């Protein structure tokens, strides 16, 4: 779902005026403290902040930390009065005479991130477009309480039991493999990329009917461009609701981690998120759009 700064400001005013649904002088139960780690952009952060400002919500966003300068979307947190920090990974590594790709630099970098987080005492950490694989330093500090958003259905596994679609290009890989739909998963972050147990799975995002025909014609560049737009659709409409739902579940103690998997309200996970108004933001695919990518006509009838 989309987010407007005016909506956030209105939510802030409601919370101040209502005292969070109680008078300020009354003792209130402690709300779940949520920290967000991000990198270049923050899909869904506005939805999370808006939900945190609703009266009687069970969680609050206490800080947002970016691993890259110039991260888009931090102004939303600033506008909500949420403390924002940047622990630039490139600058950190350059100062140590190493590169971002040097995994030996990750533990000290994560310790620096922990030093930023510790004063805020977060109960839950959400990785929202966070491009770094967390080291044990970070994972052990928030054992069972650090979740990542991934744009593929992590319930799908290969013959060896590993995630079928992982990494930054998981959505594209799923579409190129001929999957008729994609889903976004919120899962436990682990040392192995996108391999932690899933907590929540979004509703389905159907792949446009033209994709298989275009792929059959060998127009992989069109399929890749479509996959980029398709993933943008998922990020815009699934990330926020998934993070909000996870924070709500943790806030009311509905999540358990045992035997290598999550249970939600006493039932084996992952739980499915109800369908949203995602269809309104589905990529619009036309013959002209395809031709603009190829630079030539395709002869493909787009339905």
pLDDT, tens only, 220-276: 788 888 888 899 889 999 999 999 999 999 999 999 998 889 999 999 999 998 655
Lowest-confidence region among 85-89, 160-164, 297-301: 297-301
Residue 127 lies in a domain: yes
Q: What pLDDT, on a 0 to 100 scale, did the predictor assign at position 12?
A: 41
User: How many residues does the structure list for the chain?
Assistant: 303
Host domain of residue 185: 5-294
What is the number of domains present in the chain? 1
Residue 276 lies in a domain: yes
In the numeric block, which tokens belong to residue 221?
């560049």
* Closest by Cα among 239, 261, 265 to 253: 265
Q: What is the CATH number of the domain that holds 169?
A: 3.40.50.170
Specify burial of residue 201 (Cβ count, 10 A radius: 0-12, 13-18, 19+): buried
pLDDT at 23 over 60: no
- 217 φ/ψ sector (left φ>0, alpha ψ -120 to 50, else beta): alpha
Q: What pLDDT, on a 0 to 100 scale, did the predictor assign at position 286?
A: 63
Residue 275 lies in a domain: yes
Backbone φ and ψ for 129, nearest 5 degrees, come out as 70, 30
Secondary-structure percent of the chain, ordered helix, strand, coil, rounded to 5: 40, 20, 45
Q: What pLDDT, on a 0 to 100 scale, did the predictor assign at position 289?
A: 58
In the numeric block, which tokens belong to residue 286?
């036309």
What DSSP character marks residue 163? Answer: B
Lowest-confidence region among 12-16, 119-123, 163-167, 242-246: 12-16
Q: What pLDDT, on a 0 to 100 scale, did the predictor assign at position 16?
A: 36
Residue 67 lies in a domain: yes
* Average pLDDT rounded to a whole number, residues 151-162: 92
What pLDDT, in 10s, does the model give residues 30-76?
899 999 999 999 999 999 999 999 988 999 999 999 999 999 989 99
Nearby residues of 265 by Cβ (< 8 Å), 6 or more positions away: 254, 271
Residue 300 lies in a domain: no
* Average pLDDT rounded to a whole number, residues 108-121: 98
Residue 35 lies in a domain: yes
* Largest interatomic CA distance in the chain: 69
Q: What pLDDT, on a 0 to 100 scale, did the predictor assign at position 41?
A: 92
Backbone φ and ψ for 273, nearest 5 degrees, come out as -85, 135
Residue 86 lies in a domain: yes
Chain-wide mean pLDDT for the chain? 84
Alpha carbon distance 273, 184 (integer Å): 10
Residue 303 lies in a domain: no
Q: Whole-model pTM above 0.85?
A: no
């Amino acid at each position: 779902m989309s987010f407007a700064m005016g909506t956030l400001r209105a939510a802030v005013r409601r919370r101040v005026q209502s005292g969070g649904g109680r008078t300020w002088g009354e003792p209130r139960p402690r709300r779940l403290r949520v920290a967000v780690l991000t990198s270049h952009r923050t899909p869904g952060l506005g939805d999370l902040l808006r939900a945190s400002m609703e009266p009687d919500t069970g969680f609050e966003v206490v800080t947002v930390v970016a691993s890259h300068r110039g991260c888009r979307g931090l102004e939303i947190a600033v506008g909500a009065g949420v403390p924002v920090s940047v622990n630039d990974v490139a600058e950190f590594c350059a100062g140590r005479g190493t590169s971002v790709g040097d995994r030996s630099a990750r533990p000290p970098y994560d310790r620096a991130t922990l030093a930023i987080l510790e004063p805020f005492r977060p109960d839950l950490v959400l990785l929202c477009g966070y491009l770094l694989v967390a080291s044990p330093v970070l994972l052990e500090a928030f054992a069972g309480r650090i979740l990542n958003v991934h744009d593929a259905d992590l319930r799908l596994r290969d013959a060896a039991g590993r995630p079928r679609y992982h990494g930054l290009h998981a959505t594209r890989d799923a579409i190129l493999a001929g999957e008729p739909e994609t889903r976004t998963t919120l899962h436990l972050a682990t040392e192995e990329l996108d391999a932690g147990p899933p907590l929540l799975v979004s509703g389905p995002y159907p792949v446009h009917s033209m994709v298989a025909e275009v792929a059959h014609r060998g127009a992989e560049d069109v399929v890749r461009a479509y996959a980029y737009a398709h993933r943008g659709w998922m990020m815009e409409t699934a990330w926020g609701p998934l993070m909000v739902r996870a924070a709500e579940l943790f806030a009311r103690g509905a999540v358990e981690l045992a035997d290598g998997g999550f249970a939600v309200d006493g039932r084996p996970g992952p739980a499915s998120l109800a369908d949203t108004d995602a269809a309104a933001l589905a990529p619009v695919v036309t013959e002209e759009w395809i031709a603009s990518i190829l630079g030539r006509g395709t002869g493909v009838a787009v339905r």
